[in-house]
Amino acid sequence: MQRFYICTSRQLRRLETKSKSLIYSHFNETLNDVEVIRALGLEQRLFEDSEKRVDTNQQYTFTSYVTIRWLAV
């Protein structure tokens, strides 16, 4: 069971880190282009895109915590 956990945990950490990196890069790009975003009225679209990225990251984080609890049982 621990072998299965190690492989799963490693992949979940990789996915979580990648999704977190995408959040930071999206935020950085948004800050750099804030004038253009406001001029084109794309605030809501970027807000929704940011929410999707955070939700994806939270799914990986939650799944990672669940696997840790699963191993403890």
CA distances from 43 to 17, 19, 55, 66 (A): 26, 21, 18, 34
Q: What is the pLDDT of residue 6?
A: 86
| Domain tally, the chain | 1
Asked if residues 16 and 60 have their Cβ atoms less than 8 Å apart, the reply is yes
Output the six-digit token pair for 19.
């999704």
**The model's pTM:** 0.80
The band of 53, judged by pLDDT with boundaries at 50, 70 and 90, is very high
pLDDT digits (tens, 9 = 90+) for 10-27: 999 999 999 999 999 999
Q: What range does the domain containing 45 cover?
A: 2-72
Q: What is the pLDDT of residue 47?
A: 93
